[in-house]
Amino acid sequence: MDKGKKYLANTYNRFPIGIAKGEGCWLWDMTGRRYLDFLSGIAVCNLGHANKNVVEALTRQARKLIHVSNLFYTEAQIKAAELLVENSFGDKVFFCNSGAEANEAAIKLARRYSWKNHGEGRSEIIAMENSFHGRTVATLSATGQAKFQVGFSPLLPGFTFVPFNDLKAIERSLSERTCAVILECIQSEGGVFVAEKEYLKKLREMTQAKDILLILDEVQTGIGRTGKLFCYEHYALEPDIMSLAKALGSGFPVGAIVAKDRVMDSFEPGTHAATFGGNPLASAAVTATINTILEEGIVGKCETIGAYLLKGLLELKKKFPFIVDIRGMGLLLGIEFTTEVNPFVQDFLAEGVILYASKGNVVRLLPPLIIEKEEVDIFLEIASRVFERHHKK
């Protein structure tokens, strides 16, 4: 840890733990202590740690071909794209390396589409207050939380912010210069706020009528996390562009945008690129991840076990008045407290459970989707103990 402090940029408040290995829903530190992982590397390890299919696919692919650039076709990349297209609203995929990069691509694609179809000057994007879309300059400019933007001015112009779940605010902000609306179905970094069904449905109709593109940032909600492969499926609608990353490669860094041909065809050779994007190794991770999720019925399992965890949490809420709200979908759940959450995070850690704070007095629960009922029971028992101690203070 001292060496880490000496050599690593000081951009994270790290837990004072060195993680040595992981298996399923469990992590081990360098002293051999075991932790129940309710964070999944921030919604990345949806298949848990050391998933056999992912490890084998990566190993097999690494022996064959790691990287060749996007100047060539590779079977691995085409397979990964086919899986994403055949299981979503989209027709085509652009691969990149992270969530921020996926949102960058989405912003560029929306502007390019508008430029091609509606001419110059229609480049503004409506984004949500309290949103999170990444740390690059463009995605930071699209992020509706001032605390992340301090000291990084000037940001990219062309973003207007409106309150989440407020259709009238969007209606008021739309203009002849608007080319897209970007939002998350669940504002996870913003404190776990879920988009209302009617709101998203009406927003879709409103944007469609004006050929304004709807960009859904599914970086955190995608790949089974909410009890559907993609969160938009809960809403019976289709976005124009969806951004993905995090769990897409089960921990191997990869991002993507998925879009209909009508939209994606605005990108032509030379308009956008990423050297590593969807390289054979990343693509092997994507294919193994999605195949495992589909073949092992993990989306359905997530819905069932998520409901079981939610039920247990609601029982705890009845007992402890300092729990204000429990919200979310599937295995993306937030517990809101009356007080600051760091003491809870530390207390859980002392009991061997890793979880993390979100904005406000909210603790986020993001266990691997493969979590078993017995492991949820362990968590609920520990939660009960932690809350009891807090109650007595």
- Contacting positions for ligand PLP (CB under 6 A): 98-100, 103, 132-134, 184, 188-189, 217, 219-220, 245
Minimum CB distance to ligand PLP, residue 326 (Å) = 20
* Residue 154, preceding peptide bond in cis (omega within 30° of 0): yes
Query: 256 or 310, CB closer to ligand PLP?
Result: 256
Q: How is residue 207 annotated by DSSP?
A: H
In angstroms, the CA 282 to CA 148 distance is: 29
Q: What burial letters (b/e) apply to 98-125, b meaning 16+ CB within 10 Å?
A: bbbbbbbbbbbbbbbbbeeebeeebbbb
Query: 49 or 133, CB closer to ligand PLP?
Result: 133
Query: 217 or 375, CB closer to ligand PLP?
Result: 217
**In 3D, which of 71, 24, 67 has the Cα closest to residue 370?**
24
In angstroms, the CA 266 to CA 347 distance is: 51
In angstroms, the CA 289 to CA 307 distance is: 23
Query: 77 or 188, CB closer to ligand PLP?
Result: 188
Minimum CB distance to ligand PLP, residue 165 (Å) = 16
Minimum CB distance to ligand PLP, residue 362 (Å) = 14
* Cross-strand pairs, 327: 334
In angstroms, the CA 169 to CA 172 distance is: 5
Q: 100 to each of 143, 275, 326, 344, how far by Cα in Å?
A: 11, 16, 28, 30
Query: 87 or 145, CB closer to ligand PLP?
Result: 145
Minimum CB distance to ligand PLP, residue 199 (Å) = 18
Query: 109 or 376, CB closer to ligand PLP?
Result: 109
Minimum CB distance to ligand PLP, residue 246 (Å) = 6
Minimum CB distance to ligand PLP, residue 382 (Å) = 25
Query: 245 or 298, CB closer to ligand PLP?
Result: 245
Q: Name the residue number minimizing CB distance to ligand PLP.
A: 99
Minimum CB distance to ligand PLP, residue 244 (Å) = 10
Neighbours of 42 (CB within 10 A): 14
Query: 47 or 107, CB closer to ligand PLP?
Result: 107
Minimum CB distance to ligand PLP, residue 314 (Å) = 25
In angstroms, the CA 42 to CA 221 distance is: 11
Minimum CB distance to ligand PLP, residue 136 (Å) = 8
How do 159-162 and 356-358 pair as beta strands? unpaired
In sequence order, which ranges of 44-98 are alpha helices (DSSP H)?
52-64, 75-86
In angstroms, the CA 26 to CA 39 distance is: 11
In angstroms, the CA 245 to CA 97 distance is: 7
Give the neighbor-by-neighbor strand order of the sheet with 26-29. Answer: 19-23, 26-29, 34-37, 353-354
**In 3D, which of 332, 300, 333 has the Cα closest to residue 314?**
333
Query: 227 or 249, CB closer to ligand PLP?
Result: 249
Residue owning tokens 């085509």: 92
Please state the φ and ψ torsions of residue 156, each to the nearest 5 degrees. -70, 130
Give the neighbor-by-neighbor strand order of the sheet with 332-337. Answer: 323-329, 332-337, 362-365, 356-358
Query: 133 or 359, CB closer to ligand PLP?
Result: 133
Minimum CB distance to ligand PLP, residue 190 (Å) = 9
